Amino acid sequence: MDAKVMLTEKEAPTKWYNIVPDLPFPLPPATSPSTGYPLSPVELRGLFPEAIIKQELSNDDKEFPIPDEVQEIYMLWRPTPLYRALRFEEVLETPARIFYKYEGVSPAGSHELNTAVAQAYYCKKEGIRRVTTGTSAGEWGIALALACKFFGLECRVYIARSSYEQKPYGRTMMELCGARVIPSPSKETNAGRKALQQDPNSSGSLGMAISEAIEDARAGEDTKYSIGTVLNHVLLHQTVIGLEAKKQLEKAGASPDIVIGCVGGGSNFGGLAIPFLRDKFKGRKVRFVAAEPASVPSLTKGRYTYDYTDGEGLAPMLKMHTLGHGFVPPDIRAGAMRYHGMSPLVSALYQEKAIEAVAYPQLAVLESAVQFLGCEGILPASESAYAIKAVVEEALKCRAEKEKKTILFALSAHGYFDLATYDAFLAGKLEDFIYSEEEVERALSELPIISSEH
Amino acid sequence: MDAKVMLTEKEAPTKWYNIVPDLPFPLPPATSPSTGYPLSPVELRGLFPEAIIKQELSNDDKEFPIPDEVQEIYMLWRPTPLYRALRFEEVLETPARIFYKYEGVSPAGSHELNTAVAQAYYCKKEGIRRVTTGTSAGEWGIALALACKFFGLECRVYIARSSYEQKPYGRTMMELCGARVIPSPSKETNAGRKALQQDPNSSGSLGMAISEAIEDARAGEDTKYSIGTVLNHVLLHQTVIGLEAKKQLEKAGASPDIVIGCVGGGSNFGGLAIPFLRDKFKGRKVRFVAAEPASVPSLTKGRYTYDYTDGEGLAPMLKMHTLGHGFVPPDIRAGAMRYHGMSPLVSALYQEKAIEAVAYPQLAVLESAVQFLGCEGILPASESAYAIKAVVEEALKCRAEKEKKTILFALSAHGYFDLATYDAFLAGKLEDFIYSEEEVERALSELPIISSEH
């Protein structure tokens, strides 16, 4: 067969798929950080444009049309290729068939541009002039900066200081797109100033960067906030990945037995998995595996409860698997995964046993990534590498059990913005960090009093 | 129309096109550096596998089949997309239609993998165990390292010290592919030791790196040398670019009035242009523009004469436009263009006025690249950016003259391995350097006595 399956532009999806109405269980609503009661659209107005609020809170609409202007920009790189990893299969000596959906062909290098373009478009359409965001790894910042450039919006990116220093070229990309990049915690916001008072050398976190971006957005009338993962509307936009992959697999005459993605906030995994989960809820037998870092094990060791989404409690509270909003993640290299919580949708799917989760330490993960490079020629982002490690495990199980399963995984981003990580890996400078039960307990003790009762 | 034109794998070319038999003028032969007489195949045996020698010296075969094993690897990223630069056209307010063939989707990030895979394949097939090369920018090194990894060959890359230091992540990529990377001049070879004696702080050059790689290859019986540009067989392999582009333009119902590419050694420009040059020789009116750096103006200011291809006179001599093999290029950022000579094929085409050439200083070039990023979302390699500058000039001419011409250009590589360059550009740390007539004269005075008489 062909090494890759392409779709024409005419075959590209024209609607995003909202799984919430199709869930066989209710999805707990987001709540207000001040009252603890379910969030009203009014409370989100300071943060998001109206169209995004409608998508975020929708329990009824199973589909949202992808606006023409968004489709036009998607066509700069979409539909993305679906590859059969023939050479990787050979090296793993597995009877399994491994397919991967490659989002690294996006000009931002990752899947994150799918939602960035949509969010920037709605902001532009509603007369917004300026967009803020918080990010850790930089990949999301690159995506939003580029999307804002496409629509002529100002972009301000708060980026966790550790990533700012580890990955200088992420900043270069954002600045080339005209964005202003601010290391977080910063002196620009109350939240940042408070954090710097407590620890002038704070390496920052995604939670803190988000707090700063939210405070900044709320302060400006022409300004909205944009988030790259976790929330329902982000997963909605990312379903374009799974919708394409489904058509491509059909073209290849295949159907997945196992769907695998890495999870940080959950958008890349969700985007691939959700269209296939619909099939599962209709009775098809499919397994779903979310792969996370052993150092940030929100699904596998976190508590399923209401928690703040940012470090400071300014943003809506979500019922999710969390390590506690006070969690300061260890300095692992997969920056986009250094977040205390998990998408409420992915969390609920895990809680209801619709999906599984696994956690891996980073060295074994990067080893799998280098092995993949040698076969398929693509250097995965260190985040995507967690999915590859899970694929290796499943493929080896297939070998042991002589099972010819079909595995589909999301290769969410390339690693070319992340070569410092691989450089450190080659030089033997990276270590494993496994987050212990006690440390999780300690972090969880800081959770807000509002629990899962609403 | 669609933003991009794709080909299926079945539509991919199965043969490379050799233009030499179709040239309306004779191509001066390569000569021996020791005798000055036309090179015999025997003299190339220390350097290349037999299949490559046959391709290099062929004056009769108009086509060479692309081996199945090479096609199989090509299919990891080929056929590459042909884009219509709709958003760039809009910003330039030009009536011209601008198409670009994007080779940056290659897993090595550039067109150079097209020939690397072919060369590694022929080495493997002929029982070679080890391949050496010289490179300046690192992109060629990445391509060869990856190709060697695919075929299980050892790879040793001599890389100009300036690039080794300016672009550390190029080395990381090569090492991830299992290659050994050596900053040149090095103490590993006679040529390197000699250069270090003369100048212990030498920043190196492509010519010197090539000398070292050749010396190393000749010393080992199981070792061959590989070159990423300049020679006929490299341009032959690169015709896959133009052959695909031709089919894609036909699908789009278009035919180019102007074909543009950047030139360092000439392989990317040649690869795109050659299949269209065939049409020109049959009477179709097409212009061809090769864009080079004002700081390394081999076509626009060099002399058309026989010169050494490496710094030390170990490699075959070629009749080409050259700045003299002793030329040490200024420290501009487009490392792949820091070479004293030019492909004999491209040189002859220029001499016979089948193609034109232009030279630009780097700051204006990088400005065009950033403008392109803002429209098309792709950050070009600093080399490819020279083509974009030429496109801008032609598009603005079309605007002034209200001409709806069709422009096709080669976007030979992405700039993600080259973010240090853009970082320096944003920080205002780069300067223009225009190589003067006197400096060219001085460099040319070092040319060997053997002139264009053979």
The answer to whether the beta carbons of residues A278 and A349 sit under 8 Å apart is: no
Q: Which token pair is B214?
A: 């050749």
Q: What is the model's pLDDT at position A454?
A: 42
Q: From the centroid of its chain, how far is CA B243?
A: 17
- Looking at residue B69, what is its pLDDT? 97
Contact B377 A2 (CB under 8 A): no
- Residue with structure tokens 């070292």? B212
Residue B450 has pLDDT above 80, yes or no: no
* Separation between Cα atoms, residue B40 and residue B207, nearest integer Å: 23
Residues of chain B in contact with residue A141, where contact means CB-CB under 8 angstroms, are none
Give residue A40's pLDDT band: very low, low, confident or very high (50, 70, 90): confident
Name which of B288, B407, B277, B406 is nearest B356 in CA terms.
B288
Cβ(B337)–Cβ(B413) below 8 Å:
no
pTM for the complete prediction? 0.94
Per CATH, which fold does A78-107+241-446 belong to?
Rossmann fold (3.40.50)
pLDDT over 90 (residue A354)? yes
User: Average pLDDT in the A121-143 region?
Assistant: 93
* Chain A interface, best mutation among B169, B251, B367, B371, by max A CB count within 10 A: B169
Query: Which residue has 């982002």 as its token pair?
Result: A381
Q: What is the per-residue burial (b if ≥16 Cβ within 10 Å, else e) of A11-42?
A: ebbeebbbbbeebeeebbbbbebeeeeebeee
For residue B323, pLDDT beyond 50: yes
Task: Looking at the complex, report in whole angstroms how far the Cα of residue A97 sits from the nearest Cα belonging to chain B.
Answer: 16
Q: How far apart are the first and last CA of chain A?
A: 52
Q: Please, are residues A291 and A262 in contact by the beta-carbon 8 Å criterion?
A: yes
Q: What secondary structure letter does DSSP report for B401?
A: H
As a whole number, mean pLDDT of residues A33-40 equals 85
Alpha-carbon gap, residue B100 to B259, rounded angstroms:
10
Average pLDDT over residues B123-135: 96
Nearest Cα of chain A lies from the Cα of B339 at a distance, in angstroms, of: 26
Tokens standing for residue B329: 């290029």
List residues in chain B touching A: CB distance below 8 A.
2-4, 6, 8-9, 72-73, 75-77, 83, 87, 105, 107-109, 146, 149-150, 168-169, 172-173, 175-178, 370, 373-374, 376-379, 414, 416-417, 419-420, 422-423, 426
Q: Is the pLDDT of residue A449 over 80?
A: no
Alpha-carbon distance of B178 to B170, in angstroms, equals: 13
Contacts A88 to B, Cβ<8 Å: none
Chain B residues within 8 A of A107 when measuring between CB atoms? 376-379
The single-letter code of the amino acid at A367 is E
Confidence label for B1 from pLDDT (cuts 50, 70 and 90): low
Chain A residues with CB under 8 Å of B373 CB are 149, 176-177
Instruction: Tell me the mean pLDDT in the region B391-401.
Output: 98
Distance in Å, alpha carbon of B449 to nearest chain A alpha carbon: 45
Q: How far apart are CA B317 and CA A61, in angstroms?
A: 70
Q: Determine the distance in angstroms separating the CA of A99 from the nearest CA of chain B, rounded to an integer.
A: 13
Give the number of other CB atoms < 10 A from CB of residue A439: 14
Q: How many CB atoms lie within 10 A of CB B26?
A: 9
Give the chain A residue whose CA is nearest to the CA of B427: A172
| pLDDT band at residue A346 under the 50/70/90 scheme | very high
User: What tokens does B379 get?
Assistant: 């950050």
**Residue A315 corresponds to which amino acid?**
A
Q: Say yes or no for a CB contact (<8 Å) between B149 and A6.
A: no
Q: Comparing A322-331, B42-51, B88-97, B246-255, which segment has the lowest mean pLDDT? A: A322-331
Please list the residues that pair with A57 across neighbouring strands. Answer: none
* For residue B453, pLDDT beyond 60: no
Q: From the CA atom positions of chain A, what is the Rg in Å?
A: 20
- The span from the CA of B145 to the CA of B207, in Å, is 20
Gap from B10 CA to chain A (nearest CA, Å): 9
Closest listed residue to residue A229, CA positions, set A134, A314, A355: A134
Report chain B residues whose CB lies below 8 A from the CB of A416. Answer: 109, 414, 416-417
Find how far residue B190's CA is from the centre of its chain: 27
Strand partners, B307: B318
User: Would you call B357 helix, strand, or coil by DSSP?
Assistant: strand
CATH architecture observed for domain B25-66+110-225: 3-Layer(aba) Sandwich (3.40)
According to the model, what pLDDT value does residue A1 have?
60
For B42, residues 6+ apart whose C-beta sits below 8 A from its C-beta are none
| Interface of chain A toward chain B, CB-CB under 8 angstroms | 2-4, 6, 8-9, 72-73, 75-77, 83, 105, 107-109, 146, 149-150, 168-169, 172-173, 175-178, 370, 373-374, 376-379, 414, 416-417, 419-420, 422-423, 426
Cα of B255 to nearest chain A Cα, Å: 22
Does the beta-carbon distance from B178 to A376 stay under 8 Å?
no
Using CA coordinates, name the residue in chain B closest to A76: B3
**pLDDT grade for B451, boundaries at 50, 70 and 90:** very low
* The pLDDT of residue B37 is above 80: yes
The CATH 3.40.50.1100 portion of chain B extends over 25-66+110-225, 78-107+241-446
* 3-class DSSP assignment, residue B211: helix
User: SS3 sequence, chain A?
Assistant: CCCEECCCHHHCCCEEECCHHHCCCCCCCCECCCCCCECCHHHHCCCCCHHHHHHHHCCCCCEEECCHHHHHHHCCCCCCCEEECHHHHHHHCCCCEEEEEEHHHCCCCECCHHHHHHHHHHHHHCCCCEEEEEECCCHHHHHHHHHHHHHCCEEEEEEEHHHHHHCHHHHHHHHHCCCEEEEECCCCCHHHHHHHHHCCCCCCCHHHHHHHHHHHHHHCCCEEECCCCCCHHHHHHHHHHHHHHHHHHHHCCCCCCEEEEECCCCHHHHHHHHHHHHHHHCCCCCEEEEEEECCCCHHHHCEEEEEECCCCCCCCEEEEEECCCCCCCCCCCCHHHCCCCCCHHHHHHHHCCCCEEEEECHHHHHHHHHHHHHHHCCCECCCHHHHHHHHHHHHHHHHHHCCCCEEEEEECEECCCCHHHHHHHHCCCCCCCCCCHHHHHHHHCCCCCCCCCC
What Å distances lie between residue A371 and A31, B39, B205, CA to CA? Answer: 44, 42, 33
Q: pLDDT digits over B336-348, tens only?
A: 777 889 999 999 9
Lowest mean pLDDT among A307-311, A396-400, B224-228, B304-308: A307-311
Q: How far is the C-alpha of B396 from the C-alpha of B375, rounded, in Å?
A: 16
What is the rounded average pLDDT of the residues B133-157? Answer: 93
Q: Parallel, antiparallel, or unpaired: how do β-strands A180-184 and A154-160 relate?
A: parallel
Q: What local confidence, expressed as pLDDT, does residue B332 receive? A: 67
Distance CA A62, CA A15 (A): 10
- Give the mean pLDDT of chain A: 92
Residues 6+ apart with CB under 8 A from B400: none
B377:A423 CB<8 A: no
**pLDDT for position B199:** 95
**Which chain B residues have a beta carbon less than 8 Å from that of A370?**
176
Query: Any idea which residue has 């250097």 for tokens?
Result: A379
| CA distance readout (Å), A85 to A2, A90, A253, B18, B149 | 11, 9, 16, 33, 16
Tell me phi and psi for residue A172, to 5 degrees. -55, -45
B352 — phi, psi (to 5°)?
-85, 10
Specify whether the CB–CB gap between A376 and A357 falls below 8 A: no
| CA–CA gap between residue B269 and residue B291 (Å, rounded) | 9
Identify which of B107, B378, B423 has the shortest CB distance to residue A378: B107
Nearest CA in chain B to A378: B107
pLDDT at B170: 86
Paired tokens of B419: 């973010």
CA distance A103 to chain B (A): 12
Reply yes or no on whether the pLDDT at A453 is more than 80.
Answer: no
What is the overall mean pLDDT for chain B?
92
Interface test with B, best of A6, A74, A76 (most B CBs within 10 A): A76
Query: Once rounded to an integer, what is the mean pLDDT over residues A99-125?
Result: 97
Residues of B in contact with A175 (CB under 8 A): 426
Nearest beta carbon to residue B76 from set A168, A169, A377? A377
Residues of B in contact with A6 (CB under 8 A): 6, 8
Nearest Cα residue in chain A from B420: A169
Indicate the burial class of A373 (C-beta count within 10 angstroms; 0-12, 13-18, 19 or more). buried
DSSP code, position B110 = B
What pLDDT does A36 receive?
81
With beta carbons under 8 A apart, name residues in chain A contacting B168: 423
The vertex-A259 CA angle with A253 and A262, nearest 5°, equals 140
Strand runs labelled E in B142-205 = 154-160, 180-184
From chain B, the residues in CB contact with A2 under 8 A are 8-9, 75
List the single range of A96-105, B33-42, B255-264 with lowest mean pLDDT. B33-42
pLDDT band at A140 (very low <50, low <70, confident <90, very high): very high
Q: What is the DSSP string of B406-421?
A: EEEEEE-BBSGGGHHH
Share of chain B above pLDDT 90, in %: 78
Q: Which of A6, A105, A373 sits opposite B176 (nearest CB)?
A: A373
Q: Which residues in A lie closer than 8 A to residue B422 (C-beta atoms)?
A: 172, 176
- By CB neighbour count within 10 A (0-12 exposed, 13-18 middle, 19+ buried), where does A46 fall? middle
Between A286 and B417, whose confidence is greater? A286
Alpha-carbon gap, residue A380 to A93, rounded angstroms:
21
Query: Is the bond into B26 cis (omega within 30 degrees of 0)?
Result: no
Per-residue confidence at B139, pLDDT binned at 50, 70, 90?
A: confident
Q: What are phi and psi of B15, to 5 degrees?
A: -135, 145
Number of A/B CB contacts below 8 angstroms equals: 102
Contact B178 A77 (CB under 8 A): no
CA distances from A374 to A291, A311, B110 (A): 22, 40, 17
Cβ–Cβ below 8 Å for B150 and A76:
no
Using CB atoms, pick whichever of A374, A376, A419 lies closest to residue B172.
A419
Residue B3 is encoded by which pair of tokens? 């933003």
Q: What is the dihedral of CA A94, A95, A96, A101, to 10 degrees?
A: 70
